[in-house]
Amino acid sequence: MRPAFSSALRLVISVSPALFILTLTIIISLVTGHPKGLFLSRSSWGILVRFVLVTLIFIAPVLILPKLLTLVMNMAKNEGPLGQFVRDSSGLIQELPKPDAWVIRPLQGIGLSMIFAERLMNVLEFLPVRLILFFIVSALVSLFLSVVWALDDSGVKIYNSRTGEVYMAVRSIGTLLPLIGGAIGISSLFHLNSPLDALIELFEIVMVLYPSYVFFVIFHQEFIRKRIYTFSGKFRLKRMEMNLITPST
């Protein structure tokens, strides 16, 4: 019983920032009387339903991650222009630091979602016409981040045999693209709205998406922790001691 309780407590602590933001969103919405447009919902139930729906959309693609990783590894058997995939000789999966789980990775997801910021506002208000687009985009974002995070957590790096250097390029890609996406989305918001309205809409998007992305990050980490040793053998990648080099920008 104690191990089960300890595991449950650890998970509750892991998602506590998401629960805090979700609760804060509902409280503010109740106190202000659900003014139209606040947090992109007109009721507390709408906030909860949207949270559950968005979270399920994010975590569902993780279930096909083993097959997707096998496909990626098969495509990367040979050395390409940037190098060849290799794995850290330790092969260990480290506990995801809290700053990564609570800040960095959720912001990476929000950054990619922000590419469609001007459409996201309408979608998150449950406008049916745009729901299908939101489902597709969110699933693609989830798939991309799931693969990048899984490769990073599994110690997969890129090795350049010509120079003998090992790059953390997988992590760099997972950081660079969300930054670009976030910049595009924020620029779009400020282009279409006044500065104050743009800041308010940006705040609403972050408040709406952050809880779901935290749950997605934790679910992904737990899935990798329990399944990685089952399918990591399919990677068939060279293991090596690594002198990591972060690509210069």
b/e map 90-102, b = 16+ CB within 10 Å: eeebeebeeebbb
Q: N- to C-terminal Cα distance for the chain? A: 50
The domain segmentation of the chain, as residue ranges, is 2-245
Query: Residue-wise pLDDT tens for the chain (249 aa)?
Result: 566 778 888 899 999 999 999 999 888 888 876 555 555 566 778 888 889 989 999 999 998 988 888 787 776 666 665 567 777 655 556 678 899 999 999 999 999 888 765 556 555 555 565 667 777 888 889 999 998 888 888 777 777 667 666 666 567 777 888 888 888 888 888 888 899 988 988 888 898 899 999 999 999 999 888 776 555 555 555 554 444 444 444
Name 167's bridge partners.
158, 245
Res 127: pLDDT: 57
Q: What is the pLDDT of residue 27?
A: 87
Residue 145 has what pLDDT?
93
Model pLDDT, residue 26 = 87
Q: In what order do the strands lie in the sheet with 238-240?
A: 238-240, 84-88, 156-160, 165-167, 244-245
